[in-house]
């Protein structure tokens, strides 16, 4: 009851501020999309259509404040997302499993559609940092609960870290949570070091330090090997970007020593299987599905099988198994893709995969232009770097989980496009509008 009252206060505050500011109304949509307070509640908010209300508030705010909307100078990622939406609509129309396909299409299109608006409503540093801050805070709920449970020794392999009415799905799913925990670290670092908030909000710095620690603990608590891959990538990137590499290596070792007491035997034995993919049933199962997908797509290279097409592998995977190890092939329901690239390939063919890769490339290259720029503001360079780090971690972890259509990549693309537009606006300021 108490937590419902608290979420309601936040919700009403969002609405109050968002009605005249589209970027705050969009932050509300992002907050509801990530945190899902209606799924975390066991009182009057439970199951309420908060997402629908947030969307209505956003469109109302958009209509009332048309003068605050800017057409982005760089439209490539916007056009790619629109193209992707169009292509996914076609592949869904011809999907092999119609019911499953339209079910997934419903939330995928919503995710893509709202990420489109980010560059249109964000035009200043303060606005882009607000969206990032809301994103980090929303993820922060899950990592703080997960971190606390790990700290108290209440995490086990196979059990969800954060209880949600939606069950083991979305961000609450352990592998996804481990990935999100890792890439959120790069955003926390940005907010701590460079954001406008770090100097203007009381207690924010100790809270961010606590949040970072909770992200690390959550990564461990999930017992997901995906998280370890993400951490490995993160450490490599930090060392690569750092000018004082030795200092960073010692710092990393110090942090690892701090989390060492929380590594259970269960965790260590689970992680030790990461190097033996040819002997471990879970990893072997994924390889088998990937091989099947390549064969499956060779028969329908342009469009793939539509959303949920992994169901077609039910009962077909045994012929791809090359060892005696027992693998759970889910012969009745089909085994999911467990890889973002294979997922997109299987569901929307080589055309869909090309569009997906193009979106990643365009977002990455826009940020790289800022990072390599000679006269860019430090905050801008650090922001671009934090998005690219998150993008890399997303791609690395995405090799093992099917999160291609979860909102992360599209938020990164939206933020990258917004940042690039802010850079362009700084270079070529808009002429002052004449007043009546």
Partner 1 sequence: MVEILTKLVIGYLIIMMIYVSVKAEKDKDKK
What are the residues binding partner 1 (CB under 8 A)? Answer: 2-3, 6-7, 9-10, 13-14, 17, 21, 24, 27, 31, 35, 126-127, 129-130, 133-134, 137-138, 140-141, 144-145, 148, 196-197, 200-202, 204, 207
Q: Nearer to partner 1 by C-beta: 143 or 416?
A: 143
Distance CA 385, CA 186 (A): 9
Q: How far is the CB of 415 from partner 1 (least distance, A)?
A: 15
CB 8 within 8 A of CB 37: no
Q: At what angle do helices 225-241 and 174-194 cross, to 10 degrees?
A: 30
Q: How far is the CB of 175 from partner 1 (least distance, A)?
A: 22
Q: Nearer to partner 1 by C-beta: 25 or 342?
A: 25
Q: How far is the CB of 170 from partner 1 (least distance, A)?
A: 17
Q: Nearer to partner 1 by C-beta: 24 or 228?
A: 24
Q: Nearer to partner 1 by C-beta: 151 or 310?
A: 151
Q: How far is the CB of 140 from partner 1 (least distance, A)?
A: 6
Q: Nearer to partner 1 by C-beta: 35 or 283?
A: 35
Output the six-digit token pair for 46. 């439970």
Q: How far is the CB of 123 from partner 1 (least distance, A)?
A: 12
CB 289 within 8 A of CB 342: yes
Q: Nearer to partner 1 by C-beta: 87 or 117?
A: 117
Q: How far is the CB of 129 from partner 1 (least distance, A)?
A: 8
Q: How far is the CB of 133 from partner 1 (least distance, A)?
A: 4
Q: Nearer to partner 1 by C-beta: 17 or 90?
A: 17
Q: Nearer to partner 1 by C-beta: 34 or 359?
A: 34
Distance CA 384, CA 91 (A): 33
SS (HEC) of the chain: CHHHHHHHHHHHHHHHHHCCCHHHHHHHHHHHHHHCHHHHCCCCCCCCCHHHHHHHHHHHHHHHCHHHCCCCCCCHHHHHHHHHHHHHHHHHHCCCCHHHHHHHHHHHHHHHHHHHCHHHHCCCHHHHHHHHHHHHHHHHHHHHHHHHHHHCCCCCCCCCCCCCCCCCCHHHCHHHHHHHHHHHHHHHHHHHHHCCHHHHCCCHHHHHHHHHHHHHHHHHHCCCHHHHHHHHHHHHHHHHHCCCHHHHHHHHHHHHHHHHHHCCHHHHHHHHHHHCCCCCHHHHHHHHHHHHHHHHHHCCCCCCCCCCHHHHHCCCHHHHCCCCCCCCCCCCCCCCCCCHHHHHHHHHHHHHHHHHHHHHHHHHHHHHHHHHCCCCCHHHHHHHHHHHHHHHHHHHHCCCCCCCCCCHHHHHHHHHHHHHHHHHHHHCCCCCCCCC
Q: Nearer to partner 1 by C-beta: 13 or 241?
A: 13
Q: Nearer to partner 1 by C-beta: 161 or 284?
A: 161
Q: How far is the CB of 356 from partner 1 (least distance, A)?
A: 31
Q: Nearer to partner 1 by C-beta: 80 or 380?
A: 380
Q: How far is the CB of 134 from partner 1 (least distance, A)?
A: 6
Q: How far is the CB of 45 from partner 1 (least distance, A)?
A: 12
CB 411 within 8 A of CB 359: no
CB 108 within 8 A of CB 149: no
Q: How far is the CB of 80 from partner 1 (least distance, A)?
A: 29
CB 417 within 8 A of CB 78: yes
Q: How far is the CB of 150 from partner 1 (least distance, A)?
A: 12
Q: Nearer to partner 1 by C-beta: 148 or 249?
A: 148
């Amino acid at each position: 009851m108490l937590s419902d009252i608290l979420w309601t206060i936040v919700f009403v505050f969002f609405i109050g501020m968002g009605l005249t500011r589209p970027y705050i109304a969009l932050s509300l949509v992002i907050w509801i999309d990530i945190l899902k307070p209606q799924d975390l509640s066991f009182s009057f908010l439970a199951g309420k259509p908060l997402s629908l209300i947030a969307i209505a508030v956003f469109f109302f705010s958009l209509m009332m404040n048309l003068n605050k909307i800017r057409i982005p100078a760089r439209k490539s990622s916007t056009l790619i997302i629109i193209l992707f939406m169009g292509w996914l609509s076609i592949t869904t129309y011809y999907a092999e499993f119609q019911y499953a396909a339209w079910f997934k299409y419903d939330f995928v299109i919503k995710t893509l559609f709202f990420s489109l608006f980010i560059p249109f409503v964000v035009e200043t540093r303060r606005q882009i940092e607000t969206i990032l801050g809301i994103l980090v805070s929303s993820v922060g709920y899950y990592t703080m609960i997960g971190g606390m449970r790990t700290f108290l020794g209440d995490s086990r392999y196979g059990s969800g870290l954060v209880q949600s009415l939606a069950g083991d799905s979305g961000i609450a799913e352990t592998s996804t949570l481990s990935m999100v925990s890792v890439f959120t670290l790069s955003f926390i670092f940005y907010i701590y070091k460079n954001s406008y908030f770090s100097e203007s909000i009381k207690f924010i710095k100790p809270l961010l330090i606590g949040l970072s620690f909770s992200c690390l603990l959550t990564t461990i608590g999930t017992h997901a090997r995906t998280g370890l891959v993400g951490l490995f990538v993160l450490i490599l990137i930090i060392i690569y970007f750092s000018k004082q590499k030795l200092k960073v290596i010692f710092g990393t070792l110090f942090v690892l020593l701090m989390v060492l007491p929380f590594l259970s035997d269960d965790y260590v034995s689970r992680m030790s299987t990461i190097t033996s993919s040819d002997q471990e049933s879970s990893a072997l199962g994924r390889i088998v599905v990937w091989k099947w997908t390549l064969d499956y797509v060779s028969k329908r290279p342009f469009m793939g099988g539509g959303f949920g097409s992994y169901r077609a592998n039910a009962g077909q995977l045994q012929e791809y198994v090359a060892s005696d190890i027992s693998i759970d092939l889910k012969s009745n329901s089909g085994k999911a893709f467990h890889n973002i690239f294979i997922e997109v390939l299987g569901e929307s063919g080589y055309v869909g995969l090309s569009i997906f890769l193009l979106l990643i490339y365009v977002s990455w290259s826009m940020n790289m232009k800022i990072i390599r720029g000679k006269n860019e503001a430090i905050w801008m360079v650090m922001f671009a770097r934090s998005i690219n780090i998150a993008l890399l971690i997303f791609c690395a972890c995405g090799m093992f989980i099917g999160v291609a259509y979860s909102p992360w990549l599209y938020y990164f693309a939206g933020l990258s496009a917004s940042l690039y537009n802010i850079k362009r606006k700084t270079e070529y300021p808009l002429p002052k509008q004449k007043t009546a």
